[in-house]
Amino acid sequence: MQIQIKLKGTTVTVHPLDPEVTGVGNQSLQWQAHDNSDQFNFDNPPITFQQNAPISGISGSGNTASATDNVTVSADFTYQVHLIDSQGNHITYPSSGTNTATQPKMMLGTGTDPTIKNRPT
């Protein structure tokens, strides 16, 4: 499953926002820069989940991050993306409510958070 990350200024877009990951067992996830994105690198950690997600091996290098999703039950897992822009600013999307020049204001749990939807088949 490939997920595109687009950074324009301090605005971050994730597409698809809530992909369904199907199958049973380990499935690959990859986040990468969208073709029309400003330059960025993934921070460390590159991706964090808001609950105990069955996602392991999360790693980032440059503008690509990857992980393994162990799809065993139907559940939704929201997450945050952590980036460093070309000026060295750390950007977290969605932020936990902080409204600064480098962190877009968005509260978690709004229904518009990036979400991995596990749907074993």
Show the beta-strand stretches assigned E in 50-114.
Answer: 55-61, 64-71, 75-85, 90-93
pLDDT in tens, 45-97: 999 998 899 999 999 999 999 999 999 999 999 999 999 999 999 999 998 75
Identify the residue with better confidence: 57 or 108.
57
Q: What is the CATH number of domain 2-119?
A: 2.60.40.420
Rounded-to-integer distance, Cα 106 and Cα 63, Å: 23
pLDDT in tens, 33-53: 999 999 999 999 999 998 899
Q: What mean pLDDT comes out for the span 109-113?
A: 67
DSSP state, 38?
Answer: P
According to the model, what pLDDT value does residue 50 have? 82
The model scores a pTM over 0.85 = yes
According to the model, what pLDDT value does residue 97 have? 56
Identify the residue with better confidence: 105 or 26.
26
